[in-house]
Amino acid sequence: MNRTDWISLEKKVTEWIRDAGNKLRRSLSGSLDVHTKSAHNDLVTNMDKEIEQFLVRRIHKYYPGHQIISEEGFGDKPTDTEGILWLVDPIDGTINFVKQKCFFAISIGIYENGKGKAAYIYDVMNDGLFHCISGSGAYLNNKRLSPLKPVKVEDALIDLSSTWIKPNKRIDQDVLTDILLKCSGTRAYGAASIELAYVAAGLINAYFTMRLSPWDYGAGLILIHEVGGQTTRADGLPIDILSKSSILAAAPGLHQDMVRHIRSQVASGKFLREP
Ligand code: IPD
Ligand code: CA
Ligand code: CA
């Protein structure tokens, strides 16, 4: 697609996302239909499904040749990254949506032949739309985000879930200890797309997790690249956007320091397993 096509797409997506956001805000004053999926803390609501259907129908209507990977199963099942691929999470942070009624987002990342082209992360209750068309700058609503500057570990706010510092099957619980003792502080917000958008906005300096799906990270990666941040798997290797993956997203400098540290821990015998 050319630049004019992307601008016209942005106009549509922004409208759909704002409509979907209104539906979500309204739904919070009624009663939600909540079910568990793979585990007691893996929730899905009627609204996850409704919003995904709403978005998928529109994408299929206006862009019938495009492919969609989405969480609740209303999208397609692409096996490669050829053409245009949408990575859609109708509600990222469903636990927050159900329990806190805030801090959840609609996340849409769009790739052309495997390259990130456009990203939309709508923090619904803050009415904050993080967005970009690759090469044209990243924005929070109308405010352009500044390019990320190098950050030292000592000055960094690092976002990670407590899962990765207690016994678990994906990463030795001690791999990050030295970094976490040294850094300025840790944070965890429970909505990966917003956490990635916060890295892009410079509000936090790194986001680390051992397991996300393409719909969780698709948009966030594009936004972070647009402002000069770096994203890889935990071991520093490239992310395959069709797969579940660990994600290490950080400001320049900090990303290299964290990868170097993790690699040296693995070289000394600590384990790291991709999902
Ligand atoms: C989840 C959130 C959470 C992350 C989980 C995701 P969901 O997405 O992004 O922060 O830690 O791995 O599955 O299920 O609320 O869309
Ligand atoms: Ca998600
Ligand atoms: Ca979701």
Taking the domains of the chain in order of start, what are their residue ranges?
Answer: 3-144, 153-267
- Phi, psi for residue 6 in degrees, rounded to 5: -65, -40
Give, using CA atoms, the residue closest to atom 12 of ligand 1.
212
Cα 1 to middle of ligand 1, angstroms = 31
**pLDDT tens-place string over residues 154-170:** 999 999 999 999 999 99
Residue 30 has what pLDDT? Answer: 86
Residue 149 has what pLDDT? Answer: 98
Residue 121 has what pLDDT? Answer: 99
| Global model pTM greater than 0.85 | yes
- The residues near 236 (Cβ < 8 Å, ≥ 6 apart) are 248, 259, 262, 263
Q: What is the CATH number of domain 3-144?
A: 3.30.540.10
Share of residues in the chain with pLDDT > 90 (%): 95
Residue 112 annotated as part of some ligand binding site: no
Say if ligand 1 is within 6 A of residue 93 CB: yes
Residue 202 has what pLDDT? Answer: 98
Residue 71 annotated as part of some ligand binding site: yes
Cα 90 to middle of ligand 3, angstroms = 6
- Phi, psi for residue 122 in degrees, rounded to 5: -105, 110
Give, using CA atoms, the residue closest to atom 4 of ligand 1.
192
Q: What is the CATH number of domain 153-267?
A: 3.40.190.80
Domains 3-144 and 153-267 share a fold: no
Residue 37 has what pLDDT? Answer: 87
Q: Give yes or no for a contact between 141 and 169, defined as CB atoms under 8 angstroms apart.
A: no
Ranges under pLDDT 50 in the chain: none
Cα 109 to middle of ligand 2, angstroms = 12
Residue 92 annotated as part of some ligand binding site: yes
* Other C-beta atoms lying within 10 Å of the C-beta of residue 161: 18
